[in-house]
Amino acid sequence: MKNKVVIVTGASSGIGKACAIEFAQKGAHVVLVARSAAKLEILAGQISSYGVLALPVVADVSQEDDCKKMIHQVLHQFGKIDVLINNAGISMRASFADIDVSVLKKVMGVNFWGTVYCTRHALASILENKGSVVGVSSIAGYKGLPGRTGYSSSKFAMHGFLESLRLENLKNGLHVLIACPGFTASNIRNTALTGDGSSQGETPRDEQKMMQPEEVATYIVDAVEMRKDRLTLTLNGKLTVLLNKFFPKWVDKLVYNHMRKEPDAPFK
């Protein structure tokens, strides 16, 4: 990763922040993309202490113009892009019968279209450098989760997009990684949208029992270095993906029973 230029969206917290630090510690110059200027400035100062360059860029990845301007700024500053980490994401928690369609559009806008917009405008430079496009996804992209219709839909869409992109460029040296961390301690559940579009607030899960962002970041950066196609973390995540291939109805029941144990589960 020495002197590589890495873009990380959703870099202000959680997995994105941890990935930015991990890449920087390996000698990469890092572009930090998020909506919070204050958080990005603090992180940029921390990363600069590793002897690499850190470029904070305030952008909303659900807006194509923001993504286009961000990529142009990166190319002006560094002249190239080696790795794009599509990490920016939001979640939602509500029964489909109770959700406003605008919430689904917002989730899809960040999780799916944000990946599409950033990848589209960065692709030419990444191809030129035989670099990597990474989608930080979820087990919800392999198995639909009740109460998370918009979130699962966005991750399934991300998977289809990235797999197609990989196949289109099999002969062009492009590396495409779909990374599925499983439940990870972060603020994504605190900021998850409810049926009316408001923030959920308190997470319904015990964050202390989950994988920590720093551990996830180590796996993702290693997978980029080894140019892996897929990364699925946690035993539960791996078993869910594997067993769903052979016993989908049984896994349906397991997932339903697991998710309905959440406090105030939005479905019965």
Strand 132-136, strand 83-86: pairing = parallel
Question: Tokens 């989760």 label which residue?
Answer: 145
The answer to whether residue 117 is catalytic is no
CA 179 from centroid of its chain's CA atoms = 8
**Residues in Cβ contact with 53 at an 8 Å cutoff, skipping those fewer than 6 apart:** 29, 30, 78
Backbone torsions φ then ψ of 96, nearest 5 degrees: -60, -35
**Residues in Cβ contact with 175 at an 8 Å cutoff, skipping those fewer than 6 apart:** 130, 131, 132, 133, 224, 227
Catalytic residue, chosen from 50, 117, 142, 151, is 151
User: Count of CB atoms within 10 A of residue 117's CB?
Assistant: 24
Active site amino acids: 151
